[in-house]
Amino acid sequence: MIDTVDLTKKFGDKTAVNGLTLHVNDGEVFGFLGPNGAGKTTTVRMLTCLISKTSGEASIGDYQVGNKNDQVKIRKMVGLLPENAGLYDDLSAYENLDFFARLYKVPEAQRKESIERFLKMLDLWDKRDQTAGTFSKGMKQKLAIARALMHDPQVLFLDEPTANLDPEASKTVRDFILELKKEKKTIFLNTHNLDEAQRICDRIGILNTKLMVVGAPETLMESLRGRRISVKLVQVNEAIVAALARTGFEKVTIEGNNLVIDVKDPEKENPGIVETIIKAGGGVQFVNDLRPTLEDVYLKLVRG
C-alpha cells in the first residue's frame, strides 16, 4: 500500500529524511519510531503530499507521490491526524466534521451517517453541538481522529495520536486505533510511545533520519540479544554459579538473589538449569523469561 525507495528530503543543507526505503502492507499497522527531529513528521508530510520530496520515489496504492496529477487522488485516499489536533475551536464538533467531509465531497446522507457513527463510537455524540474549544485535550484528539476518517480513507496517517494525553484518554485513543485495525485499514503511526507501538503495531520501523531497522516488535526484541531468563533463588552462592558454568551456562549474572542467565532455547534448557541448581543445593522460587523490551532495541539503535 505504501512504498518508498530511497526517499529523501532536504531543507537547505539539512537532511531531514535520508534514503528511506520502506514497504507497508495493505491493512497493516506500521509504527514509526524515532527521536524528535528524526524525520517522522517530514515523512508523513511527504507521503500525504503536503511537502515535496527532494529525491527518491514514493507511492500510495497506485499513485505516485510527487506526480502532480496524483496529488489530489492521494489526498482523497489518505486521512491525516497531524501532531496538533488543529480543530476550529469556534465550530461545534458536528460542524468541524461536516466541514471536512464536505471538502472530501462525501455525499450528504453518508456524511450525516459517518458523523453520527464516529461521534457515537468516540462518546462524543451527546456533545456534538458544543464548540470544540470547550473540549478537553483527549476529546479534541478523538474528534481529530474522527475528522481524519470522515471520507473513509484506505490509509490513515496518525502523527503522535496520544502525545500529551492523560492515561485514560490515551487508552481510549489506542482502543479506537485497535478498532480501526480490525477494519483492516492501513495505519501509519508515528509515535514516541514504545509501549503503544508494541501493543498496536504489526511492524515497526525505527528512524533517525535514516531508517535503522524494520520488523515485527517480537522479532526486533529477540534480534537484539537472544533471550535471557531470571531464576529467583532462596539464596545464591558461588557453587550454583560454578555448577551452571560446568553445564554450559557461562553467561550468568547475579542480581541479589536472582541469577540472570543467557539462554538460546529456554523451553528446552530451563528444566536442565533448574535441575542443576537444585543438585547444587539451591532452592528455586521463580523462573521468569526476560525478553528485551522494545525500549532496549530503540535505545540501542538511536544511541548507536
Partner 1 sequence: MDLETVWTIASKDLRLFRRKKSIFYAVIIFPIIISIGLPGLIGYVATKASTSTAVLVGLLDSFSFFFAIIATIIPTVISSYSIVGEKVEKSLEPLLATPATDDEILLGKSLASSIPAILAVFLGATIFMILTDAVTYGKLGYLYYPNWNMALVILVIAPLSVVFSVEGNILVSARVNDVRTATQLGSLIVLPYFAIYLLSEIRLISVDTTSLFIIAAIVLVADVFLFYLSRATFRREEILTKWK
Among 26, 90, 108, 179, the residue binding partner 1 under the rule CB under 8 A is 90
**Nearest-5° angle of CA 145, CA 99, CA 149?**
25
Q: Which is nearer to partner 1, 20 or 85 (CB)?
A: 85
The stretch near partner 1 (CB under 8 A) out of 21-29, 121-129, 142-150, 178-186 is: 142-150
Instruction: List C-alpha distances in Å: 232 to 10, 236, 257, 263, 288.
Output: 52, 9, 6, 16, 8
The contact mask relative to partner 1 for 151-180 (x = CB under 8 A, - = no) is ------------------------------
Number of residues that bind partner 1 (CB under 8 A): 30
The contact mask relative to partner 1 for 8-27 (x = CB under 8 A, - = no) is ---x----------------
Instruction: List C-alpha distances in Å: 150 to 75, 119, 143, 146.
Output: 13, 11, 11, 6
β-sheet bridge partners, residue 32: 190, 205
Among 5, 26, 37, 52, the residue binding partner 1 under the rule CB under 8 A is 52
Q: Which is nearer to partner 1, 90 or 250 (CB)?
A: 90
Between 167-182 and 137-149, two packed helices, what is the crossing angle to 10 degrees?
Answer: 20
Work out the number of other CB atoms within 10 angstroms of the CB of residue 192: 16
In the structure grid, which three cell numbers stand for residue 197, read together?
A: 507501538
Among 4, 48, 162, 191, the residue binding partner 1 under the rule CB under 8 A is 48
* By the rule CB under 8 A, 144 interacts with partner 1: yes
* By the rule CB under 8 A, 299 interacts with partner 1: no
* By the rule CB under 8 A, 122 interacts with partner 1: no
* By the rule CB under 8 A, 80 interacts with partner 1: yes
The distance of closest approach from Cβ of residue 13 to partner 1 in the complex, given in angstroms and rounded to an integer, is 14
* By the rule CB under 8 A, 84 interacts with partner 1: yes
Give CA–CA dist 252/262, Å, rounded: 7
Give CA–CA dist 35/4, Å, rounded: 21
Nearest to 160 by CA among 150, 180, 174, 172: 174
Binding site for partner 1 (CB under 8 A): 11, 45, 48, 50-52, 72, 75-76, 78, 80, 82, 84-91, 95, 99-100, 102-105, 144, 147-148
